[in-house]
Structure 1
Amino acid sequence: MVRIESAHGLPATCILKLDDSYGADGIVSSKDITEVAGLRSQSIAVEKGSPSHFFLLSMLKEENLTAKDVQMLFMPTAGDAAAVFTAGRAKAAVTWEPYLSSSTKQSPNAHVLVTTREKPGLLLDLLLANSDYAKANPDAVNGVIKAWFDAVKFWKTNPAQANSTIAKGLGVSDQELSEMLKGCKYADYPENATYFGLQGNSSAPFFEGFAQAQKVWLEAGLMTKTVNADSVIDVSFLKGITV
C-alpha cells in the first residue's frame, strides 16, 4: 500500500517490516472452481485497493488473466466480501482469517482455492510513518521499532502468555487466535535486516516486492505514476537499533 499512498502524494515512509502472511489471506470459492484459471468470467467479492485486491490481481496475472476477465464486486471490507460470498451473491471472495475459515464452515459447497501459504512473500505488513513526523521525532520512531522487536522476542519465548494477551485485546478466544496466527510470521530484527538489505543490497526483497506491486497497481489503474522505491524507505532507524 506504500506505493499507492506515495503515488497520491502522501508523505509516507516505510520504517519496519511487521510480518508475512503465510496462509492468513486467500481466495475462497465454490467447489466447482478448482483452479485460479477457473475464476474467468466469475463474480469475485473483494475490497478495492486492499492487500486482498493485490493478491487477486497477482493470482490472475499468473494465469494470464486481468481484472477485465472477471466480475469484481468491490466491498467495503474483507469481512463484507466473505459475507457476500457466504450469502451466495458471489462465486468467490478474497479475504483473510478468520473469515477465510468461517466461509468454508458456513457454506458446504465452499473451499479455499489458494492462500498465501502457496505464495510466500507476496503479502506482508509494513509499518509506515509520516515522513515529516519521523524526521522531527527520531526518538519516538526508534522507540516504536524497539518495542516491536521486544514484543516479537517476548512472543517467541512466551507464546502462551503472549497469545492470551493478544486474544484478550482482540476479543477472541486463545484457540481462535492460535488458529489465526498459523497463517502469520512475525518479523524480527534479522528478518528486517534481510528484507531491507541493510548492507546496501539493491536486490533486497523490499525492492523486488516494491517493483512487482507497483506494476500490478499501475496496470489496475490504482496508480497513475511510478514511485522511486528509495524515496519511500528509511532504514536509518533500523540501523540505529540495538537488539
Structure 2
Amino acid sequence: MKKALFLAASVALAGFSHAQAADTKVSIGISGWTGFAPLTLAKEAGIFKKHGLDVTLPKVPQASRHLALASGDIQCAATTVETWIVWNAAGVATTQIFQLDVSHGADGIAAKPGIENVAGLKGKAVAASAPGTSPYFLLAYILAKNGMTMKDVKIVNMEPGPAAQALLAGQNDAAVTYEPYLSAVRAAPDKGKIIATTLDYPAVMDTFGCTTTFLKEHPDAAKALAASYYDALEMIKKDKDKSFEIMGKDVKQSGKEFGESAAYLEWQDKAAAKKFFGSTFKSFNEEAAKILLDAGVIKTKPDLSKLADPSFIE
C-alpha cells in the first residue's frame, strides 16, 4: 500500500514538475499595431500554451519599451527593425529572432486639407511620437528622401492613435500614424489626406526579439515563440473570419474593420523571414543607422552584425 502511494505521489510530482518546466513565463511588450496581432491570436487561441509558454502581452509605448526590457518587466518585444538599433545603442542588449510583418501602406503621413505633398510640410506642425520610435523614424526617412530634415518641421510629440484623432479634430497640420488609426483618416477625406505611405517609402518592417539574457537562458522558449507565431499565421489562413474577430477585439475593431486594416500589410512566414535576414535586413540597417545618426536619435552606431540571430527559426 505504501509503495503504491509512493509511486502515485512520484508520478503526480513528476507531472507537476514537467508542467512547471514547460510553461515558461514570457512577457512580450507590444502595441495595438495591426502587424503584431498574430501574437494576440497566439495567446487568445491557446497557441502559446500549446507550445509550453505562459505569455502575457502588455501594451507598452514604443518610446519606453526598451526601458521595460532593461528593467526585466518584459523579456521580449515586437517593434520595427530600426528601433532595435536605437535600443542597442542605448545599451539595452537585445536580439531579433524572427520577422513579423512588412507594411504596404499601413504606415504614413496624413495632413490637413490644403497640404498636398511632403514638400508642403515645411514649417508645419507634425504630430509624431518621440525620438526612437517608428513614426519619428518614418518621418525622418520620408523627409530625407525629399531633401528635407527634421529641422524643416515642427514636431509635436503624440502617440499614433492620439495623433490621428487630433488631426481629425482640426489640430496640428499633419500626423504620422499607422493602422488601425490610419484608416480613420481614410474614412474622413474632408478632414485629412494621406500624403505619403510605406507603399512609396518602404521603411517599416517589424521583427520580434528578446533580451540576450533571455535568449541565452531560454533558447527552447525562443524557438517556441517563433513556432507559435507561425502557427498563428496558419490559423489565419485556415479560419480568417474567426482570427480577424479575435485580433480585432483586442483593438476594439470588428473582424471586418480589422481585415480592412490588415490589407495594408503582409505578415511574414518562416521562408520570408529567412530571406529577409539574409538580404534586405542588412542593407536597411545601414541606411537606417545613418538616418538615426543624422537625426540625433543615436550618438554611436552599435554593431549591426549582432542585432539578429535567425538560428531560432532554422
Same fold (TM over 0.5): yes
Count residues with an aligned counterpart.
231
Aligned to 2:213: 132
Residue 9 of structure 1, aligned match among 91, 115, 128: 91
- Range with bigger deviation, 108-117 or 175-184: 108-117
1:86 touches 1:107 (CA, 8 Å); kept in 2?
no
The CA distance in 1 between the partners of 2:185 and 2:277, in whole Å, is: 35
Aligned to 2:128: 46
| CA apart distance, 1:210 | 1.0
Aligned to 1:178: 259
Structure 2 counterpart of 1:51, one-letter code: S
Aligned to 1:36: 118
Residue 119 of structure 1, aligned match among 188, 201, 219: 201
| CA apart distance, 1:104 | 4.9
- Counterparts of 1:10-159 in structure 2 under 5 Å? 10-48=92-130, 49-75=132-158, 77-106=159-188, 108-120=190-202, 122-159=203-240
The CA distance in 1 between the partners of 2:144 and 2:247, in whole Å, is: 36
Aligned to 2:25: none
The CA distance in 1 between the partners of 2:251 and 2:180, in whole Å, is: 12
The CA distance in 1 between the partners of 2:230 and 2:112, in whole Å, is: 40
The CA distance in 2 between the partners of 1:156 and 1:119, in whole Å, is: 28
| CA apart distance, 1:117 | 2.2
TM score, norm. by length of structure 1: 0.90
| CA apart distance, 1:14 | 0.7
C-alpha RMSD of the superposition:
1.5
| CA apart distance, 1:175 | 1.2
Where does structure 1 lack aligned partners over 5 or more consecutive residues? 198-203
Aligned to 1:191: 272
| CA apart distance, 1:234 | 1.2
1:20 touches 1:125 (CA, 8 Å); kept in 2?
yes
1:23 touches 1:115 (CA, 8 Å); kept in 2?
yes
Aligned to 2:243: 162
1:153 touches 1:188 (CA, 8 Å); kept in 2?
no
- Determine what percentage of the aligned residue pairs are the same residue: 29
Residue 296 of structure 2, aligned match among 196, 200, 221: 221
| CA apart distance, 1:107 | 6.5
Higher relative contact order by CA 8 Å / sep ≥ 6: 1 or 2? Answer: 1
The CA distance in 1 between the partners of 2:100 and 2:85, in whole Å, is: 17
TM score, norm. by length of structure 2: 0.70
- Range with bigger deviation, 165-174 or 50-59: 165-174
